[in-house]
Structure 1
Amino acid sequence: MAQSLAYMGGGSGSAGGGTPSSSSRFSLPTSPPTSSTPSSASFYSHSTNPSTSTVSAPLPKRDGSRIVSAGPSSLQQTLFPSSSHQAPTSILDRPLNRTKGAEVSLGAFAFLFAEIVSYSQSRVDSVTDLEKRLSTLGYEAGQRILSLVLLRNTQQAGGKDPKREHRLIPILQFVHTQVYRYCFGKPADGLERSVEGEDEYMLTLNQPPLTQHISIPKDLSQLSCEAFTAGIVEGVLDGLDVPARVTAHTVGTDQYPQRTVILIKLDQKVMDREEALGK
């Protein structure tokens, strides 16, 4: 070190030949010590041999009001890495192609859906209100699922917009196969027309995945948690300009006790458009 501060025990005296002020207890040497023997007041020893030196790393240098590290890596880079290495802060920043074909375990999805049902149940007073709440959540999910499915179809077509269906049956088949398979890994078990009305169609789910791990109490025996799936179907149809009222009904059999029918009640303007296109 070019300069050193030496603490004086008391009284007046000199250190290294300098004459201190009478009001100061410290003195700065004006000339280097004449003796090669280290001073007894020095607390650090320096060696010319790097292997025995007590200082193994370069000390930081003071540059104005900042301290610049002389080491190979900066503390600022360690604590605050560059933005290029930071993970995306939003799910919208993630590339869609990386999540293509990604699957979520049925156990995790069932646990999440059970919590959704429990949360919704604590905020309603009747089974009808609970089904409406689940249907509303499913409708919002269906709107987003439709956008994602159409975008994936466009990417598979090489950037060209795929053919858009306007007839009713191809649209229902699109929901039965592509949309349901995208959500649950396989198409729905059946699609048929109701014998009670021309404006009613039914999606059949023999083993609905949402209700396999949900136990419904006896006082809520009329509840169908597949109202969430019905909301998804209604949201997709509404996005395809096919307004309809979609509800879920449990129609169990000996082979499939949880068999569910998704009833699609089409709007009258859909039937009028279908009649006009059929001519």
Structure 2
Amino acid sequence: MLQAAEAAAGAQQYPAACLYLVATPIGNLADISLRAIQVLSLVDAVACEDTRVTAGLLRHLGLHKPLLSLHQHNEHEAAAGLVARLQAGERIAYVSDAGTPAVSDPGAALVAAVQAAGLRTLPLPGASSATTLMSVAGDAQASGFRFVGFLPPKGQERRRRLQALVGADHSQVLFEAPHRIEDLLNLLAELAPQQRVTLGRELTKQFETVHTALAAELPAWLAADAQRGRGEFVLVLHAAPAAESAEEELPLLARRSLELLAAELPLKQAVALAAEISGAPRNQLYELGLAMKKAREA
């Protein structure tokens, strides 16, 4: 592997005093790139989310590097030490346990600290569960996609955040832990029963699952097999079906709140407040607000 990596990526420039953000496999070790192997073989040290996980990856690649712990609980403190090493001219790689660093994983604060010190950061693209599932979601009617990540774990804030997502004209990518997947699917079935959802479980691993269905159907699908509730989950909430009318779909409280607020405030501010009051999706409220404005001006 090291010879193949050198042949494929050895001609690349790898500057000193640089932080390399290296994407690692999300489950299948064969998904690591030759360029990632080349960089990991060149750096002076590897900062990582969990030294045990990264030690296993390096052993698989036949590499031995000093490991520096940097995770969500010590990122700001550890970043200062890494900046000092970079200022001394070292090359440092940062990897999370799986996937692309700083995407619902530590790394963003480290990158900000390195850049604030006037030092270089260089990304190495690779595995990402978000784009992996998006590629097989088949949401042809979507106007782009939004990465959401993890919702709040429980309570009304979780419900409000999810309510704000339904009805959008674009795909939305969510992450969820196995002990909360049943709750999330039940909420989706309640709040957006007719929206399609693509669920990915244990992506790239031996028993990966990709399943697309209406949100209303997913709780029963999950309950039908105990194995379906195990592993790490990624979901794509598809773009909502085109509505006949935003006004027809919105509850009375949302429509009345927007009507009163729009009479006194700019439309964007009125929509934001009406969404907070009613829990209705902002995009539908905004569509209704535009229709109301046109009616007044006609």
Under a length normalisation based on structure 2, what TM-score does the superposition of the two structures give? 0.21
Larger radius of gyration: 1
**Higher RCO (CA < 8 A, seq sep 6+):** 2
